[in-house]
Every structure is written in structure tokens, then in C-alpha cells.
Amino acid sequence: MSLPRIYPLIFKNVFSHMDAEKAHHFGFNAIKAAEKTGAGALLRKATAPDPVLARTVMGLDFPTPFGLAAGFDKGGDGTTALLDIGFGHVEVGTITGQPQPGNPTPRLFRLPADKALINRMGFNNDGAAVIASRLMTSQAKLAERNYRTRPIIGVNIGKTKVVELADAAADYEFSTRRLAMHADYMVVNVSSPNTPGLRQLQEISSLEPLLAAVQRTADEVTGRRVPLLVKIAPDLADEDVKAVAQLVLKLDLAGVVATNTTISRAGLSTDPHEVEQLGAGGVSGLPVKERSMEVLRLLRAELPTEKAIISVGGVTTATDVYARLVAGADLVQGYTAFLYEGPMWAHRINTELAMMLKAQPIKRG
């Protein structure tokens, strides 16, 4: 029996009986341990993406369009280990200027009937200064490895909870000054539902000066044009999505990450009373799939091909990734399905996606 088929049994018999956050840490620690024991080199060789998957986006060369969304590697302490198992990029974070513990536990819940999660993590992380050092180490490791195409590290930044909205721009700038040097690209997260008031920053009047300040700071610190994207929620109205696209053009940003989790509970198969008992938080996984695709199409209609769209939300299979690429995504990310599918998930998607692209290439531009 192959490893990809073993994991569902492990999940059913072990992880499904554990607290979701504890299970996450257990699995993540196992991936990091593989790197430390030397198995990472073997995994890199075994999971190396087919060259047909390589693409250039935002001036960066990606070994595969499929990557890991922010939220899994919040602290940047397992980035290279995750890149060992087939992800073309890992988006680290969300990172805040100051360290913070996040919301009280429990704060991560599975909805197996919906292949979904509810989370109200609250940007728990060690802060920009500490994580900057880890990212520097990760970049050095990648530089030493013999890749056909080096995987990419993205950095996702958000607002520190105790910082007032009026001071948000300064907080984001603080993080940018410490992190930009170690980021291949950066993402401004203004769309998590788990930091009070954060989504108010998606309003164009607040978003424009914030993004302009982060881009200016990143460029000053690094001496280069840092690809900067903004991550938006699926709950934005269509006209607001279009307004964000126009702002990307106005500020000449690299693009958009779409979408984050949703505050909606519509269409869930899980018993409504059970969902209500779990409390507040953002829903990710399959329930976001349809709206995420809608937002992708809206953005692609508004943005020229040189502006990147990273599509995330409800991605489970290689067919899902292929469909996002056909619809105009430049890169595709997953997260929730990783917890259900296991450590060989990215490799399986890459293998199947390569076959699809060889059979029916996607014409870009």
C-alpha cells in the first residue's frame, strides 16, 4: 500500500480523535523531523516537480504553480521542510509586528462532513523580528540546495491585535522593515475575520495608503521592487472586488491573493447546532470553493495578464488546480485539504497536474 493511501487511515484512526490544533502540530513536527534526520533530501528527490509545471510569475520562477497558503507555517519554522514535500512555494504567516499568543484555545475545528475547518486562531506568532531570523536561515538553506528551480518563500503580514486601526499602517511598515529582505514576495492580509476590525482595512479609503506605505517601505529596505499582493475575503461584494483590482492597477502592485476564509455558514452539511456550538471563526475548505472561483473570474476580468492572481479556497485535487489555472489564476494555493489528505498531497497534485498539462496545455496571455 502506497503512502498516499495510508494517510486517510491514520487520519481516521488517530488524528480525527485529537484536538485539531494539536493534530496539526503533531503532523507538522513529523514533517520537520524528516528534514532533520536527513530524509528531506530523499523526499526532495522523490517529489521534485515535473519541469512542465515550472512557470514565471511576478518575475519569480516557480517549480510548480501549486503552493501552501498562509496559516500552516505561521512562524516560519518549518518552511524548508514543507518545500521538501513538493510545494512550489510556501506563504509564511500571517506575521504581525509584535509577538502575540492569538485567541484562547480551542480555536481550530474540523467539519469532516464538509471537508472544512473553522478557525479563530487570531494571528498567533512570534513576531516579525524573531521570524525574520528564521526566514533568513530558510533562504540560506534553499540557496545551498541543488534545485532545478528553487521553491519560493512568500511572507504574509497582518495587524498586531493591540494596535489601533489608526496606527495599522505603521504596524505593517514595522513588519515590512524586518521581513522584506527575506521574502521573495509579500502579501498584506486585511481579510482575516479573527482580528477585530481588520476587515475594515479592505475599504479602499483605508487600503490605498496602507498598501502604498508597505510597497514603499519594502522597496526602500531591499533596494528592489518587491512583488506585493493584497489578500481579500470571499465575503466582499462583487463591486468591492472590482475596486480592489482597480487599486492594484493604480498602485502598480503585483496582484491579489483570493480568497481568505468566510464568515458565512451557508450551505454547510454539518448540523447547524453543532456549528453554532463551535462559535466564531472563518470557514475554509470546500464551502469556499464556489465563491473563490467567482472572485477569481471577477479579478481576471479586471486585471491584465501581467498582474498575478493567486487563487486559494476549496482546492483539493489536481483537477481543482487545473480549473483555477484555466480560469486565469497564475498560482494556486491549498491549506485545509492538507490536513485531510496528508504529507504526500502536494506531490500527488503535481504528478496529476503534470499529466493534465501535457495532455492539454493551458495557453497563457
Active site residues: 192
58 is in an annotated binding site: no
DSSP letter at 100 equals B
> How far is it, in rounded angstroms, from Cα 214 to Cα 172?
7
261 is in an annotated binding site: yes
28 is in an annotated binding site: no
1 is in an annotated binding site: no
336 is in an annotated binding site: yes
Q: Which H or E run includes 293?
A: helix 289-302
285 is in an annotated binding site: yes
44 is in an annotated binding site: no
HSE-up of residue 216 (Cα within 13 Å, Cβ side): 10
DSSP letter at 99 equals -
The answer to whether the CB of 230 falls within 8 A of the CB of 190 is yes
71 is in an annotated binding site: yes
**Grid cell digits, residue 263:** 464568515
Q: Which H or E run includes 228?
A: strand 228-232
Question: ω before 106 within 30° of 0 (cis)?
Answer: yes
Q: How far is CA 332 from CA 7, 41, 154, 258, 338, in A?
A: 23, 25, 13, 10, 14
119 is in an annotated binding site: yes
223 is in an annotated binding site: no
The answer to whether the CB of 64 falls within 8 A of the CB of 139 is no
231 is in an annotated binding site: yes
358 is in an annotated binding site: no
7 is in an annotated binding site: no
194 is in an annotated binding site: yes
> How far is it, in rounded angstroms, from Cα 48 to Cα 149?
10
66 is in an annotated binding site: no
The owner of cell 466582499 is: 236
22 is in an annotated binding site: no
> How far is it, in rounded angstroms, from Cα 136 to Cα 149?
19
Where does residue 302 rank: exposed (0-12), middle (13-18), buried (19+ CB within 10 A)? middle
The answer to whether the CB of 240 falls within 8 A of the CB of 202 is yes
**Grid cell digits, residue 225:** 521592487
Q: Return all residues near 329 (Cβ < 8 A) that are at least 6 apart.
A: 65, 296, 300, 309, 310, 311
The answer to whether the CB of 344 falls within 8 A of the CB of 43 is no
Instruction: Mark the binding-site residues for FMN, compressed into ranges.
Output: 70-74, 94, 156, 189, 231, 259, 285, 314, 335-336
Instruction: Mark the binding-site residues, compressed into ranges.
Output: 70-74, 94, 119-123, 156, 189, 194, 231, 259-261, 285, 314, 335-336
Instruction: Mark the binding-site residues for substrate, compressed into ranges.
Output: 74, 119-123, 189, 194, 260-261
